[in-house]
Structure 1
Amino acid sequence: MTRLVLHIDRLVLTGIDRHDADAVAAGVQAELQRLLAQPGALGALTGGGDRPRIRAGSVPVPHGGNGHAMGQAIAGGIARGVKP
């Protein structure tokens, strides 16, 4: 059995209101769980070995969206940054 452990020690979010932080974090967590549970996702990720840092780069977030939607967009950027 292959196991993936993902630690996010620091997530830099420029321009996001502090009041949205919990909703953004919940959106990131839920979307990463969904993306990484898809068939074949784990195999694509484990081929790259340990990675001390992932740079997701700029992630477009929906204007007027809620914190959860922002978190989903951020998780998509993280998932793209993790894949080899």
Structure 2
Amino acid sequence: MVMTRLVIHIDKLVLRGIDRSDAAAVSAGVQAELQRLLAEPGAASALIAGGDRYRLKAGPVPSAPAGGRALGQAIAGGIVGGTRS
């Protein structure tokens, strides 16, 4: 079995119309959901197959999920979903 290391570095996340007080919750939601989604068997293969990437365009993110953490989870879903298109 070959182990491949996947490192995701989000340098900047721009969220227009989101209150600054929700920033920590959004960040926690993104991190937790990326870990959950990419821990599923085969889920990281699309990211790994693409090799090093300077930028990744996220897939659609539902507008205004309730709460910062839910928004973070939706963003993570968009990131992973964007690799499948």
Task: State the TM-score bracket (shorter-chain normalisation).
Answer: 0.7 to 0.9
Given the two structures, how large is their TM-score scaled by the length of structure 2? 0.87
Task: Output aligned runs, 1:47-58, within 5 Å.
Answer: 47-56=49-58, 58=60
For residue 44 of structure 2, give the secondary structure of its aligned residue in structure 1: helix
Aligned to 1:37: 39
Deviation at 1:58, TM superposition (A): 4.6
Any stretches of 5+ residues in structure 1 without a counterpart? none
For residue 41 of structure 1, give the secondary structure of its aligned residue in structure 2: coil
Aligned sequence identity (%): 67
Given the two structures, how large is their TM-score scaled by the length of structure 1? 0.88
For residue 11 of structure 1, give the secondary structure of its aligned residue in structure 2: coil
Aligned residues: 83
Deviation at 1:9, TM superposition (A): 0.1
Aligned to 1:76: 77
